[in-house]
Chain A
Amino acid sequence: MEFLIQQILAGLAAGGIYASLGLALVMIYRATHLINFAQGEMATFSTYIALKLIRAGLPYWAAFVVTVIVSFALGVTIERVIVRPVERAPHLTVVIVLVGIMIVFNSMSGWLFGTTLEMFPSPFASSALLENRLISPHAAGSIIVVFAVLGVVHAFFRYTPIGLAMRAAAQNETSSRLAGIRVGWMLALGWGLAAAIGSVAGMMVAPTVYLDPNMMAGILLYAFAGALLGGIESPMGAVLGGFIVGVAENLIGTYVIGPELKLSAALILIIGILIVRPAGLFGVTYAVKV
């Protein structure tokens, strides 16, 4: 029984990472109706930045904060400089641009920081506060950080005027512009936030899976599966879906199929959802008059 609880908790820790990345994916999806394929690679790049800062002597949490801020700025810049010019282009064009960004970031990580596996420090590893029998201190700390981030993001969207403006801009561009909302900047803000959230996910997962340019590829897939499961239009759904996928992946991998097929299970889940209920658990199905 204790083993089962350990697996569930470990699944929650992983699920938290998927939930964070899934939230980032949903934020951009709601505003643009596109999946930001580059989300994972941007997160990896951010994690490398954090590593460099730590190696340069910065204390962990200072490096953490700086990385989040830099990632935010990076997200905003990418939206304004690369995505904005193709805003009105056909969807396929934008998809290609996003894939391009993904490839560029992946290569930049390898080129600037090297392709050898790196160890990434955890601020929780030696924490006496988090010692327990059920999960590693880092996993416990990771869950706490993820919940804190999710809470802050939720409060931001629910209770601040800019959060409200961003939600409005994602839903109805014309009405938002008529209310004076600068829709373009709201989109850029969304990208910045998504990049910042991604960087936190990267820093939380790197100690467990070690840092290399391809760290996030598989994780992004799980996050995508989780977001689809919960409903790609629903932030809460994406978060819940991420946690479900995390726990399910761990339990299935431990009790049913073994770790080799876990990624395939995620892919099968994605295909299954798209066939059976594309809107996901909490998503909304749109009826379009033609």
Chain B
Amino acid sequence: MAPLLEVKGLRARYGITQVLHGMDFSVEEGSVTTILGANGAGKTTTLRAICGLVKTAGSMRFGTTDIQGRQTEDVVRLGIAHVPDGRGTLTRLTVEENLRVGAYTRKDKVAVREDLARIYEFFPRLKERIRQQAGTLSGGEQQMLAVSRALMLRPRLLLLDEPSFGLAPMVVQDLFRIFRQINEESQVSILLVEQNAALALKFAKFAYLVETGRIVLAGPSDVVAADPSVRKVYLGY
């Protein structure tokens, strides 16, 4: 079966600075895939490229649609939800308003209400703070909110950009447990970008390693995790 997301020869630039130099990767439907790499390797840029937030060249296919060169607003409507690094919280809106923004493109009002209820089940802390201004939430809560906002799209593919960043280990565990649940229960495919290699390799089924804008290693997570250079540089042993 063809992968849900297939990217070939992806190049991306910020202004005149080329950041991605021809990336090839894919995400199988229903799977959890991770892209690892050090700071500045191009991981975040890769996710932004998928969503059309940077200038790209190359080929990107999502489902049966060619998404390269498309506007972000259109890519998102195809079912790709992006949780950006830094969370992208709409700080001056309330928690519930943030979630409603996430559901902006949906027409099925009843299903939106159901999804809202399900989010509050997943994240009771958010339910407690429905009318609270989103900017006053803690880091962990804002991350939950950002993920929830993405889920309100009912995406087929969820792009997670460094979800563990700045969060306490306990919170990270909870978060990833919920990601696993979402992936298994709702068949949402996940493409995870993480600096925390150990965490990502445990969580994902398939892994890619990026160095300065190129994929240098690819394979099932356990194979990548056992690779000696990966172990030395990214896992520390």
Residues of A within 8 A of B (CB): 161, 164-165, 167-168, 171-172, 174-183
Asked whether, in the complex, the Cβ of A164 is within 8 Å of the Cβ of B100, the reply is yes
* Bound CA span A245–B129, Å: 37
Asked whether, in the complex, the Cβ of A171 is within 8 Å of the Cβ of B91, the reply is yes
Number of B residues near A (Cβ < 8 Å) is: 24
> How close is B31's CB to chain A, nearest CB, in angstroms?
22
Asked whether, in the complex, the Cβ of B53 is within 8 Å of the Cβ of A174, the reply is yes
- Cβ–Cβ < 8 Å partners of B76 in chain A: 177-180
> How close is A262's CB to chain B, nearest CB, in angstroms?
35
Query: Which of A164, A167, A172, A179 has a CB less than 8 Å from the CB of B105?
Result: A179
> How close is B115's CB to chain A, nearest CB, in angstroms?
14
* Bound CA span A182–B90, Å: 16
- Cβ–Cβ < 8 Å partners of B102 in chain A: 179
The answer, yes or no, to whether B6 is at the interface (CB within 8 Å) is no
Asked whether, in the complex, the Cβ of B93 is within 8 Å of the Cβ of A161, the reply is no
Query: Which of A180, A182, A183 has a CB less than 8 Å from the CB of B153?
Result: A180
Asked whether, in the complex, the Cβ of A174 is within 8 Å of the Cβ of B88, the reply is yes
* Bound CA span A36–B84, Å: 32
Closest 6 pairs (CB-CB, A-B): A180-B105, A175-B88, A177-B72, A180-B76, A168-B101, A179-B101
Supply 17 further A-B pairs (C-beta < 8 A) apart from A178-B51, A180-B104.
A164-B93, A168-B101, A171-B90, A171-B92, A171-B93, A172-B90, A174-B53, A175-B149, A176-B101, A178-B81, A178-B82, A178-B84, A179-B76, A180-B77, A180-B105, A181-B73, A181-B101
- Cβ–Cβ < 8 Å partners of A180 in chain B: 73, 76-77, 104-105, 153
Asked whether, in the complex, the Cβ of B100 is within 8 Å of the Cβ of A161, the reply is yes
> How close is B135's CB to chain A, nearest CB, in angstroms?
10
- Cβ–Cβ < 8 Å partners of A161 in chain B: 100, 104
Asked whether, in the complex, the Cβ of B84 is within 8 Å of the Cβ of A174, the reply is yes
Which residue in chain A gives the minimum CB-CB distance to B91?
A: A171
* A161, A168, A180, A182 pick with most chain B CB within 10 angstroms: A180
The answer, yes or no, to whether B97 is at the interface (CB within 8 Å) is yes
List 19 contacting pairs A-B, 8 Å CB cutoff, sorted by A. Answer: A161-B100, A164-B93, A164-B100, A165-B104, A168-B101, A174-B53, A174-B88, A175-B84, A175-B88, A175-B90, A177-B53, A178-B81, A178-B84, A179-B102, A179-B153, A180-B73, A180-B105, A181-B104, A182-B73
Asked whether, in the complex, the Cβ of B149 is within 8 Å of the Cβ of A179, the reply is yes
* B76, B93, B101, B104 pick with most chain A CB within 10 angstroms: B101
* Bound CA span A161–B149, Å: 15
Residues of B within 8 A of A (CB): 51, 53, 72-73, 76-77, 81-82, 84, 88-93, 97, 100-102, 104-105, 149-150, 153
- Cβ–Cβ < 8 Å partners of B53 in chain A: 174, 177
Which residue in chain A gives the minimum CB-CB distance to B105?
A: A180
Asked whether, in the complex, the Cβ of B101 is within 8 Å of the Cβ of A165, the reply is yes
Asked whether, in the complex, the Cβ of B88 is within 8 Å of the Cβ of A172, the reply is yes
Asked whether, in the complex, the Cβ of A167 is within 8 Å of the Cβ of B104, the reply is no
Asked whether, in the complex, the Cβ of B104 is within 8 Å of the Cβ of A179, the reply is yes
> How close is A52's CB to chain B, nearest CB, in angstroms?
39
Which residue in chain B gives the minimum CB-CB distance to A182?
A: B73
- Cβ–Cβ < 8 Å partners of B82 in chain A: 178
- Cβ–Cβ < 8 Å partners of B93 in chain A: 164, 167-168, 171
- Cβ–Cβ < 8 Å partners of B51 in chain A: 178
> A165-B104, A180-B73, A181-B104 are known contacts. Are A175 and B97 too (CB-CB below 8 A)?
no
* Bound CA span A204–B67, Å: 50
* A176, A178, A183 pick with most chain B CB within 10 angstroms: A178
* Bound CA span A15–B221, Å: 67
Which residue in chain A gives the minimum CB-CB distance to B149?
A: A179
Which residue in chain B gives the minimum CB-CB distance to A174?
A: B88
- Cβ–Cβ < 8 Å partners of B84 in chain A: 174-175, 178
* Bound CA span A181–B90, Å: 13
